[in-house]
Amino acid sequence: MRARLALLLAVVVPACAEGESSSGFGSAPGVTTATITATSDATTTSGTGTTAPTTGGGACGDGTCDGGEYCETCPEDCGGCEAVCGDGMCVGAEDCLACASDCECAPYCGNGTCDMQLENCFNCAGDCGPCGVSCGDDTCTPGREDCLSCAADCGDCPAGCNDGTCGPDENCTTCPADCDACPPACGDGTCDVGLDSCESCPQDCGACPPQCGDGTCNGAETCGSCKADCEAQCTPCACKDGDPNFNNVCHWPPNTPACPPTAPGGYCDPNGDGSYDDGDWQKGYFEYADKCP
């Protein structure tokens, strides 16, 4: 019995280059590997499973979050799996309003600030104010100019204007003296309550504030708070469905296609040796959680 057990344990495995497995494929975090276990009755059992990367570094509990540790595998060293304002990562529920030190708001129309490089009175009157009405600018602004106040823009008043009768050829613009002033209208520079809104008249009322689902990633939206609009900000690495133990970008093997963090120099493999020992596993956890909740 003892001889048979020793024979099983002495199974010859072909020598592999560093980072390779006997199957010919690189042994890497997140790949499926086979295991063989010798039992006391000289039988063997085998199975497969998704393995976490084999990393060096310190041990969990040594007070340093390193060597493949992150909040889920070693909260003693890495802290809990909640976003922490001030850690330099804009993840989870953080945004530029809740944590400006980690997250930066992209300028958008409606934030109350006229970004001179992007906005002006024409495309964002809500932030920059309405463009000044100037007689002679070739625009007869409703409610602000008419034939009496600015013939250069609105034309001369028709004959008979100011006779007390609003004739068939007269209206509030061509003859306000007879037809009274024009009612409020979109484009008059005033956001009239009950008539205008950011949706119906953004030139007077300004653009509507950002809203998740409007198709634009702006304001305080992030991948974590609004994936529908901000998917371009999410990690490009894919999600892996059906494996509850796969919860980190750094679980993907080195040089995974379309996953830059796993390439040499990426945050999973800064020194490029393929071990991920010096990887930023905490960032990998949060970025994966934002995209693959």
Q: Which residues 6+ apart lie within 8 Å of 43 measured at CB?
A: none
Segment 5-28, tens digit of pLDDT: 333 333 333 444 444 433 333 333
Give the tokens for residue 292: 């693959």
* Residue-averaged pLDDT of the chain: 75
Spell out the domain ranges in the chain: 1-69+235-293
Phi, psi of 128 (to 5 degrees): -100, -5
pLDDT value at position 4? 40
Query: What is the residue-wise DSSP string for 212-278?
Result: TTSS---BT--TTT-HHHHGGGS-SSPP-TT-TT---GGGSPTT-TT-GGGSTTSTT-TTSSSS-TT
Segment 59-71, tens digit of pLDDT: 888 888 888 888 8
Q: How confident is the model at residue 264 (pLDDT cuts 50, 70, 90)?
A: very high
Question: How many C-beta atoms surround the C-beta of residue 215 within 10 A?
Answer: 7
Question: How many C-beta atoms surround the C-beta of residue 71 within 10 A?
Answer: 20
Distances (CA, A) of 73 to 43, 77, 212, 262, 268: 33, 9, 33, 19, 16
User: Between 26 and 84, where is the model more confident?
Assistant: 84
Q: Does 210 score more than 90 pLDDT? A: no
Phi, psi of 177 (to 5 degrees): -65, -35
Q: Does 174 score more than 60 pLDDT? A: yes
